[in-house]
Amino acid sequence: MKKIAMFTMGTRGDVQPYIFLSKELIRNGFDVVLGSHPCWRWLVEEAGIHFEPIGPDIDIEKEAAEIRGKSSNQMLSMLKTMNFIMRIIQGATNEVYELCKGRDLIIVTHSMIGAVEAGVLGIPTVNITLQTEMIGEKLRPQKIKDKLIGGMIAGQVAKPYNKIRKAYGLKPVKSADEIMSDKLNLIPISKYVLERNQYWEAKNILTGYWYEEDRDYVPDEKLKAFLDSGKKPFILALGAMSFEAVSEKAKLDMFVNAFKKTGERAVIQGFQKTIKDYELPDSMIACGSVPHSWLFKQGKCVIHHCGFGTTASAMIYGIPSIPVPHVLDQVGFAMQLEKCNVSTKMLKAKDLSEENIIRAINEMNGEYEVKKRNAEILAEKIRTEGGVAEAVRLIKEVLE
């Protein structure tokens, strides 16, 4: 039995794609270990996957909320998040190294954790990329100016990995590309959503989205009664962007008031600190951890932060979106939704106001039939790809 390890850091959206992949690998006879923050043990083990804790036992929701709260600038917020995660990755290299030993393949996730350690041990790797902006355009003819700018950016991206390389007595690399797999880079995005870049090397492959139907989920009676009692609700699912270090009543008020004034029913995920003492009207309900594979099918539209996983779920399950990106990479995913004409124009977090939310809801309602039909057609196409099965097929080819 071939042994595979992969490691990931961050919020639930940074873990979930690898749970889907791990389960499909296990179904195909592989021995898989998935390592992450200790707080995700329950999530990984609940899926029947061998979990190994990596790094300190932190409250990821609290940490993410504090980082976001310290900066309203999208670029700064993303950089602070990346720096926070990279510090943990650098500190956890010894643990990762020990867990890599004896493995036949290391799947290097989007945070690139495990790449250096696998190289030291001489273990082959396969990469996964969620943000396609990180993929080098190796086949593009380069002008001197482009080379200089690209080299500067590549050098900055490589810095944290060079710190790990130094710990093993390795020479620094000029670009993170140098520690990427030379065999395969999996991109779990649909070809119906993103056109393949002609300047990518052949190893960069769009597999289609990775997902799994949650057929066993049963909602609690309160949520079921709410959904049965009226028209389809808007779903507010801001994911990690609704994590709270402290109560954010003013932010929730904006959405609640907008739903009231537009006459829309709503299901609200997140805002756990605020929602405890918050009195919602009868036309709205708060719900906790409900799988998007079930919840999104119950809604009219989803208002979300455009994290990778939530954006994918909206497309997979054929529900139109109101995109509210908070950090820079989320803007890229919002642009994908706009290009497919399954969403309103994005409403950036810095522009959030009751008036702008109402404007977005009215835009959605005015064009709903077109956007809903587009979302359903796109979902039908996505389902033909079998993204996670295709990923496993390609991984098998590498191992063979």
Domains of the chain, by residue range, sit at 3-209+385-399, 221-382
Percent of the chain with pLDDT over 70: 89
Per-residue pLDDT for 185 more than 70? yes
pLDDT-wise least confident of 182-186, 203-207, 249-253, 311-315? 249-253
**Rounded distance, CA 243 to CA 13, Å?**
13
The pTM of this model reads 0.89
Give me the pLDDT at residue 109, please: 94
Q: Judge whether 54 and 26 are in contact, CB under 8 Å.
A: no
Band (pLDDT 50/70/90 cuts) for residue 374 is very high
List all residues 6 or more positions away from 216 whose beta carbon is below 8 Å from its beta carbon. Answer: none
> In angstroms, how far is CA 246 from the centroid of its own chain?
24
Same fold: 3-209+385-399 with 221-382: yes
Average pLDDT over residues 169-191: 91
Fold (CATH) for 221-382? Rossmann fold (3.40.50)
Q: Judge whether 295 and 304 are in contact, CB under 8 Å.
A: no
Per-residue pLDDT for 144 more than 70? no
**Rounded distance, CA 146 to CA 137, Å?**
11
| The pairing of beta strand 105-108 with beta strand 3-7 | parallel
Beta bridge partners, 286, equal 268
**Options 3.40.50.2000, 3.40.1360.10, 3.40.720.10, 3.50.50.60; CATH of 3-209+385-399:** 3.40.50.2000
Report in angstroms the alpha-carbon separations of 3 from 46, 96, 97, 106, 237. Answer: 20, 15, 15, 9, 36
Residue holding tokens 């537009």? 262
The pair of three-digit structure tokens given for residue 124, joined into one six-digit string: 């082959």
- pLDDT, the chain, mean: 88
Average pLDDT over residues 275-279: 85
Give me the pLDDT at residue 141, please: 81
Helices (H) then strands (E): counts for the chain: 16, 12
Residue holding tokens 């991206």? 157
Report in angstroms the alpha-carbon separations of 238 from 129, 305, 380. Answer: 22, 5, 25
Per DSSP, the residues of 149-186 read: HHHHHHHHHHHHHHHHHHHTTPPP-SSGGGGS-SS-EE
At residue 289's C-alpha, the angle toward residues 286 and 293, to 5°, is 105
Residue holding tokens 């063979």? 400
The pair of three-digit structure tokens given for residue 361, joined into one six-digit string: 């809801």
Phi, psi of 146 (to 5 degrees): -60, -40
Give me the pLDDT at residue 147, please: 47
| The pairing of beta strand 301-304 with beta strand 284-287 | unpaired
At residue 47's C-alpha, the angle toward residues 46 and 48, to 5°, is 90
Average pLDDT over residues 158-164: 84
